[in-house]
Amino acid sequence: MTTTLLKLAFAGIRSRRLASGLTVLIASAAAAAIVLALEVGATGRDPWQRTFDAAHGAHVLALVDSQAEARRIATLPGVAERDEPLPSALATVASGGDDLLRLTGLRARTRVNAPVRTEGAAPPADGVVIERSFGEALGLRVGDTLRLAGRPIALPVVGTAISPSQPRYPRSKPGLAWVTRAMLERIEPDRRRWSWTAAIRLTDPAAASAFAASLPPGAGDVQTWQDQRAAALLDAQPAQLILTTYTIVLLIVVFAVVAILVGARAAAQHREIGLLKAVGLTPRQITAMFAIESAALGLIATVIGFTVGALLAPTLAAPSAETLLGSPAPAPSAWHLLAAGGPILLVLLAGVRSSTRRSTRFSALHAIQSGARPPTPRSRLARAVARVPLPLALSLGVKDLLAERRRALRLGGAIALTGAAIVFALSMQASLDARPAGEPSDVTDELPVLVYTLDVVLLAITATTLVAVALLSVRERIRDYGVLKTIGLTPRQIASSLVGAHAAVALLAALVAIPAGLGLYRIVYAIAGGDNADLVLAPWWSLALVPIGAPLFVAAVTGLPARLASRIPAADAVRYE
């Protein structure tokens, strides 16, 4: 029986190319999102390690108030290597904003936690060497002049460098820069305002947390190398968060779409399934046949998604790699493939199961004789809607849609999720617009691009799903449309019944999408550690685009299938089997 099932499954795939293609498309998108979410974080790990090694990084980094304290820390047991404690002072950049800069004064090249030169001169140098992400954020390049507020000092920027202990500015403030000891004394003559950094390497790196814990509390700011790494990788967090959110959204849409497609397939092949049952297949085996088919599509989709995700990951990770050495390299692993494939297959199979339950439990004889699946009894929702006075064409279309209640709900769900994603993007855009000009914010420029791209992908998927489902509906209704034409419905009325009903669903879905999208944005913002006071949601006039745009969008997309429906020749249609 298994061979038969396999053969049947693959024959099924070939014959339903559109449906199969759509399934693969959307499952690939979900798989790519999963892979990206996993990899964006992973691409950070190796470069950080490289940076740390290049800098001969500090296992423990302590920022304290006095030189004596710093010396004491450096001489605690367990310390393998240490440098002279380094002085540093805070200053504000004279650009009108409140960009704070910590200037570290070096007398000579340090051994532990040395800044890694990326451009120009290495510290210490005449002038200032700024940390790379700080320079990017403020638009400072080698050759520019850095002025400090409140002090008549102009520092020529002679180079850029990175440090494993410094996450990306402005995520991590203050910024970092290196000057000579002499220059530091000029910038901040009051030594009491200096802080001292002790950079230590331990004999046992793993004991870093214990070492840090052993220091008296209140001594100052203490970071272990694990802390540094986590902070660096935190840059990838917003992107990961967004990707995770969209992954969930995409997986739900996958479920809905697969359920719709498989359900429609099963209904169309009612008679064939009846024949299979007559031959001896059990309902479970029939479900298994559909499941194998979907699983095969899911595997293809996972591979595609994995490839796409692996290719795109470096681009996404680039911003977070500004503080790290080397270009981010894709770090795909078999585990990522599994992590992507697992949820995809689960969701696909769940979709199949949910939609074939009804389709496999019926009398085989009845199916063979009548050919068509008996209509579902009218739901309460449908009966309630039937009482609403709607224009005739719209009322017919809505009744048609509600005849397949689950399909309508799933379609509405997919539209609502897409709408929510758009609301999410609008809120993000509003946050970006709300920040004062010139001030770099937590939300970097790459994130909106990511979100918009994902939204476009989601829109494309929803549009394709709409077309596919509308075409399916039309095919199922050929005879009915012919009969309606005979009774006297004009082609335009038939088209508008289809378009109108879908637009109505879109309107309802859009209204659901707004609170859903805003809620989603709130949650993601909170997880990303944003301050609630700073939370900016999309303004009402941009939100209004959603309930206006969704029906229009859906109407435009279903226009083509509706046109086909209106062209059905009545004379042939009424005799269609």
Partner 1 sequence: MTYVLEARGLAKTYDTGGAEVLALRGVDLAVERGEFLAIMGPSGSGKSTLLNLLAGLDRPTAGEVRLDGDRIDRLSETELARLRRRKIGFVFQFFNLVPNLSVLENVELPLLLSGRGRKQARASAVELLSELGVGDKRAVAPALLSGGQQQRVALARALANTPGIVLGDEPTGNLDSAAAREVLALLRAARERGRTLLVVTHDARVAAAADRVVTLRDGLVSDETELEPARPVALPFESAERP
Interacting residues toward partner 1 by CB under 8 A: 374-375, 377-378, 386, 389, 392, 399-400, 403, 479-480, 483-493, 569-571, 574-575
Given the complex with partner 1, which of 284 and 366 has the nearer CB atom? 366
Helix 17-55 crosses helix 334-360 at what angle (to 10 degrees)?
160
- Nearest approach, Cβ of 44 to partner 1 (angstroms)? 56
- Nearest approach, Cβ of 306 to partner 1 (angstroms)? 43
Given the complex with partner 1, which of 197 and 497 has the nearer CB atom? 497
Using CB atoms within 10 Å of the CB of residue 160, give its burial: 0 to 12 exposed, 13 to 18 middle, 19+ buried.
Answer: buried
Please, are residues 109 and 122 in contact by the beta-carbon 8 Å criterion? yes
What's the number of CA atoms in the CB half-sphere (13 Å) around residue 420? 26
Given the complex with partner 1, which of 151 and 406 has the nearer CB atom? 406
Given the complex with partner 1, which of 279 and 388 has the nearer CB atom? 388
- Nearest approach, Cβ of 392 to partner 1 (angstroms)? 5
- Nearest approach, Cβ of 494 to partner 1 (angstroms)? 9
Given the complex with partner 1, which of 258 and 393 has the nearer CB atom? 393
Cα–Cα distances (Å) from 404 to 18, 19, 252, 379, 411, in that order, read: 20, 18, 19, 10, 11
Given the complex with partner 1, which of 8 and 499 has the nearer CB atom? 499
- Backbone φ and ψ of 278, nearest 5°: -60, -35
- DSSP assignment of 415-469 equals HHHHHHHHHHHHHHHHHHHHSPTT---SS-SHHHHHHHHHHHHHHHHHHHHHHHH
- Nearest approach, Cβ of 443 to partner 1 (angstroms)? 49
Handedness of CA 53, 56, 57, 60 (dihedral sign): positive
- Nearest approach, Cβ of 557 to partner 1 (angstroms)? 23
| Pairwise CA distance, residues 464 & 557, whole Å | 8
| Pairwise CA distance, residues 292 & 3, whole Å | 11
Given the complex with partner 1, which of 200 and 484 has the nearer CB atom? 484
- Nearest approach, Cβ of 395 to partner 1 (angstroms)? 9
- Residue 124: asked if its preceding bond is cis (omega within 30°), the reply is yes
- Nearest approach, Cβ of 489 to partner 1 (angstroms)? 6
Name the CA dihedral angle for 546, 549, 553, 559, rounded to a multiple of 10 degrees. Answer: 130
| Pairwise CA distance, residues 175 & 157, whole Å | 14
Given the complex with partner 1, which of 50 and 399 has the nearer CB atom? 399
**Contacting residues for 198 by C-beta, under 8 A, at least 6 apart:** 60, 61, 62, 64, 70, 71, 73, 74, 82, 85
- Nearest approach, Cβ of 313 to partner 1 (angstroms)? 48
- Nearest approach, Cβ of 570 to partner 1 (angstroms)? 5
| Pairwise CA distance, residues 505 & 225, whole Å | 54
Q: Which two tokens stand for residue 546?
A: 């959603």
* Interstrand relation of 154-162 and 128-131 (parallel, antiparallel or unpaired): parallel
Given the complex with partner 1, which of 552 and 571 has the nearer CB atom? 571
| Pairwise CA distance, residues 323 & 445, whole Å | 16
Given the complex with partner 1, which of 270 and 485 has the nearer CB atom? 485
